[in-house]
């Protein structure tokens, strides 16, 4: 102090002097300057004595002139080493995988268990649940669900995509926002596949083929991005006509049914008429073939007969000519009424036709 006295009393001899009194001594105390300053000085001196400092006026410390075994720098170093050791070990759960980055660059991928790495900030760790099946439900909004079919109808589609991470390095570093990319690819693939199918098939018998095609198209697209994602399954939850176009769709369905009915009737008539026409044509062809055979045979017979007559004519021309004349006249008058005239003028001679008598006799019987 400025007066050279101790803050606890007057005199320079400490407790050896009789005049000064301790603050814990009896009797009233006189104020000896500002107490907060004196208390702060004592705290600082005590702190220095404990951690290797020296007391005021060049006096020896509380350890009799020896420095304490540990100082503040040593404690700081030990604390840093402890923190670095704690940051060098990490664990990975059974459902997870982790990638180790050195100064932000990929180094390796590790599985479940306890692992070692260089302390921060040299190496860092990123973890993701690669064994967990993730799920997207698409179609809750109109802009997601409404799609155009191959036959230009509107259909609302609600579907679910199940997927998981199969390559953590690609998942983290190749595509920005991989989860959103998977959802966008799923919606795009569904729209493309729906655009190649007709409405009736989508809502009835072709649901499985639609989901199979969407899954394949999604996987091919994500593989081309090297997104590190495996598509497990695509589930078609709902496929229905929007309420706003139900009436128009019913008209289209009714028209399609009428079309099918007319086609079936026409097919029925065709199935009846075509066999009949084919049978008639076959009959005509067969009759023509028969007529052809008959005419050809008769022509050949007439040709042979002419050759025979011609040979007889060459052998006996007069006789043959007379015979041909008589045969020809016989054919000419075969059905004519016959009369016999007497060349001497006696008139008509009755002609008795034996053939006519035979026909009349048969009629009487």
What would the pLDDT profile of 315-327 be if each residue is shown by its tens digit? 888 888 888 888 8
Q: Is 77 a domain residue?
A: yes
- Residue with the bigger pLDDT between 74 and 213: it is 213
- E strand residue ranges, the chain: 89-92, 97-102, 105-110, 113-116, 123-128, 134-138, 146-148, 154-165, 229-240, 340-341, 348-349
Model's pTM, two decimal places? 0.52
- Residue 309, pLDDT score: 81
* Residue whose C-alpha is closest to residue 64's, from 84, 43, 45, 49: 49
168 and 112 assigned to the same domain: no
Domain with residue 205: its CATH number is: 3.30.479.30
Nearest residue to 241 (alpha-carbon basis) of 181, 155, 327, 158: 155
Between 33 and 175, name the one with better pLDDT: 175
The answer to whether residue 174 is domain-embedded is: yes
Residue 198 and residue 232 in one domain: yes
* 351 in a structural domain: no
Q: 140 and 118, same structural domain?
A: no
Domain boundary among 88, 111, 128: 128
Domain identity same for 124 and 143: no
**Model confidence pLDDT, tens digit, residues 244-289:** 777 877 787 788 889 999 999 999 999 999 999 999 999 999 999 9
Q: Is the dihedral of CA 98, 103, 105, 107 positive or negative?
A: negative
Do 114 and 157 lie in one domain? The reply is no
Whether residue 20 is predicted with pLDDT greater than 60 in this model: the reply is no
Contacts for 324 with CB less than 8 Å, ≥ 6 apart: 309
For residue 27 the two structure tokens come to 């009797």
Q: Are residues 90 and 182 in the same domain?
A: no
Is there a contact between 98 and 125 (Cβ–Cβ < 8 Å)? yes
By percentage, how much of the chain surpasses pLDDT 70?
A: 72
Say whether both 163 and 222 belong to one domain. yes
* Boundary residue ending a domain (218, 241, 264): 241
Instruction: Name residues whose C-beta falls within 8 Å of residue 326's C-beta, 6 or more positions apart in sequence.
Output: none
- Number of structural domains, the chain? 2
User: For residue 116, what are the domain limits?
Assistant: 73-128
Residue 199 lies in a domain: yes
pLDDT at 55 over 70: no
pLDDT, one tens digit per residue, over 29-50 is 444 444 444 455 665 566 556 5
59 located within any domain: no
Looking at the structure, tell me whether residues 226 and 141 fall in a common domain: yes
The domain boundary residue, chosen from 241, 264, 293: 241
Among 80-84, 102-106, 254-258, 303-307, the minimum mean pLDDT is found in 80-84
Residue 108 domain-assigned? yes
In a domain, 80, yes or no: yes
Same domain, 180 and 207: yes
Domain presence at residue 6: no
Q: What is the mean pLDDT of the chain?
A: 79
Q: Does 107 share its domain with 187? A: no
């Amino acid at each position: 102090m400025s007066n050279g006295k101790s803050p606890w009393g007057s005199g320079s001899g400490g407790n050896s002097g009789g005049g000064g009194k301790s603050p814990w001594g009896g009797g009233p105390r006189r104020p000896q300057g500002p107490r907060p300053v004196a208390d702060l000085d004592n705290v600082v001196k005590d702190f220095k004595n404990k951690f290797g400092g020296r007391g005021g006026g060049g006096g020896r410390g509380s350890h009799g002139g020896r420095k304490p075994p540990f100082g503040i720098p040593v404690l700081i170093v030990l604390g840093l080493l402890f923190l670095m050791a704690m940051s060098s070990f990490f664990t990975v759960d059974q459902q997870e995988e982790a990638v180790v980055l050195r100064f932000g660059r990929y180094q390796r991928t590790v599985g479940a268990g306890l692992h070692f790495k260089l302390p921060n900030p040299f190496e860092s760790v990123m973890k993701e649940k690669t064994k967990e099946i993730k799920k997207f439900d698409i179609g809750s909004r109109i802009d997601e669900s409404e799609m155009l079919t191959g036959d230009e109808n509107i259909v609302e589609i609600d579907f679910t995509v199940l997927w998981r991470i199969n390559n953590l390095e690609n998942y983290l570093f190749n595509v920005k926002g991989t989860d959103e990319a998977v959802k966008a690819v799923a919606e795009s693939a569904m729209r493309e596949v729906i655009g190649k199918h007709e409405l009736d098939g989508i809502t009835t018998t072709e649901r499985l083929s639609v989901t199979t095609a969407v899954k394949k198209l999604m996987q091919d697209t994500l593989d081309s991005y090297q997104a590190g994602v495996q598509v497990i399954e695509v589930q078609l939850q709902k496929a229905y006509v929007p309420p706003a176009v139900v009436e128009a769709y019913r008209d289209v369905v009714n028209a399609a049914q009428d079309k099918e009915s007319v086609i079936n009737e026409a097919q029925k008539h065709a199935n009846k008429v075509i066999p009949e026409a084919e049978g008639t044509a076959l009959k005509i062809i067969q009759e023509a073939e028969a007529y052809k055979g008959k005419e050809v045979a008769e022509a050949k017979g007439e040709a042979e007969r002419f050759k025979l007559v011609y040979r007889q004519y060459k052998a006996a021309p007069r006789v043959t000519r007379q015979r041909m004349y008589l045969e020809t006249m016989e054919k000419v008058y075969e059905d004519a009424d016959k009369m016999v005239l007497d060349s001497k003028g006696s008139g008509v001679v009755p002609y008795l036709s034996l053939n006519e008598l035979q026909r009349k006799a048969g009629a009487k019987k």
